[in-house]
Structure 1
Amino acid sequence: MTFSRFQNLESRPGYSNPPEREEAFTFCVSLKTARYSWVTMPGKSQSVLQSPGEAYLFDLTSNHRVSLDATFDTVRIHIPQTAIDQMAHEKGIRRIGGFHSKYFGPDDQILYRLAHTILPAIENSSEVTTAFVEYIGLATFDHIAYTYGGIQKGSRLSGGLSPSQLRRACDFIEANLAGDPSIVALAGECGLSMSYFARAFRVTTGMTPHQWIIQRRVARAKSLIQNSKMTLVEIALICGFVDQSHLGRHFLRVAGRTPAQWRREHI
């Protein structure tokens, strides 16, 4: 699954090039109002007024084009059929043969909020963890599988990780805080699928893997600030943050004070 931001900042004549045909689907989630003179798809062509929060589903096995006279700002979610099959298998649900929408451009506030949530990762991927992006991907698949894939909502996972699985996951996170521990790697440590692990981890800890990683990075930073003479820049890098300002933002949110204030209070 790929998240991208597409913008057209000035009106221009002509049409977009048709995308390469593939067994995949694209959801275009509008961030601002856009008026297209024409959107062409197999069997029909129409003008479209796109409002924020509407989600437009395109099947990439067929060609489609849009007029470039509209200024637009969209988050596009691209998901190949192979990824749909893999994620459905991990969730233990039947195969989803494709996505379908009753209307072209329905209002989808959940997908709209997920699009806004992923924007920081699109704009500056170095400041978010892989686990955060993976978790948004899982949440997105959950939503589109039930909304556009014809899957009936059934029983949800109620059990969590076993004590030994939780210990292995936490040990792996501690050993890789300076890097970027992913849900895929954590799930592998526990012998589970990524989808199952992400839900079970939250059931057990009350946090997503991304939230846990940030909490542990801040905890390590607290210890280093209090017990070493390293600079905040050095501590930020050792703890897996991009730079001092990245450390500062998360530290303030978790600890309620800046790293400098913490140092003054504990030395």
Structure 2
Amino acid sequence: MEASSLPAGGRLADSLKSCIRSEDAWRLPAPADAARAGVQPASCTTSGLALSRWSVTGIGGSAPSRELSATTPADMYTVGVNLRSTDITFLHDGRVTFEGRVMPGMFQVTGPGHSARAVFHASCDVLHLYVPQAVLDACQREASGDDAGTSVLVDDPRVSHDPCVERLGQALLLADEAFTSFGQMYVDSINLALVSRLLELRSRVPLNGAAPMLRKSALPKWRLKRAVEFIDAHLCDAIGLEDVANAAGLTRMHFAAQFRAATGLRPHEYLLRRRIECAQQLLADEEYSLLDAAQLAGFRSQAHFTTVFKRMVGATPKRWRDTQYADA
């Protein structure tokens, strides 16, 4: 299910839904968003950014995979922030850069003029932020005070994870009730914060002109499948690293490193995220109490459940559940 959803009804929903539109096709912004993205900003405080949401259901199990492709315009970046766990194969300019399970909060950047192709093996929900090159350059100039006019390049197409990007994605979907008349201003601010974070991450990694491909130390696909299936089958049980490693046929030390290389997450963090997704499914059903959801998802205490849920989702279990009922 979705990591979060917007409340329907009331001025808040009207304001936000007008800012986060649904895409008719993968990585194709709605017409109004495309027009916004075409604005040439004088500074990074002028938006020029467009945000939309793309989702597809009915994939996985006996249903066939779905393959989609798109080419980013020559003067724009496409930033995808994942909202729910899914299984994909992602290609950048025809070369595989990721294959496996993508968790909520993981993101990918496709540069101007580059092609992206994804094979979705399960249902997917993702935010797409469209960033004109001019906005990126303006933000860099404001931050550095350098007016040289050199274009900024963000040229790492890997699927990555960053806690700050994850929180910003959550913030776009879980707006505070106080935002009634300022939805567009709020969304623009978060969009700008996302751009700033991408520039910050770029500044920490030396550019060598070559985009890294799949890391050779990543867990092989068949071992990853065994580990993921074991975790999903034992979410409500007390399982440890050694249990999952044994399911994959590796020692604890080798498994942990390879699992993180394949997913971007430590095994324990991945387990917690899957438990939170399970809890969300239960909370969406009025039949289960908060305590039921916590216990059935594998949490041994209500306090621990609430702490982890708020950290990963951006709201307490009760508040998130109230939002779901309002949406219904």
TM-score, normalised to structure 2, is 0.39
Identify, as 1 or 2, the structure richer in helix. Answer: 1
Task: For CA contacts below 8 A with separation 6 or more, give which structure has more relative contact order.
Answer: 2
TM-score, normalised to structure 1, is 0.47
Which structure is larger by alpha-carbon Rg, 1 or 2? 1
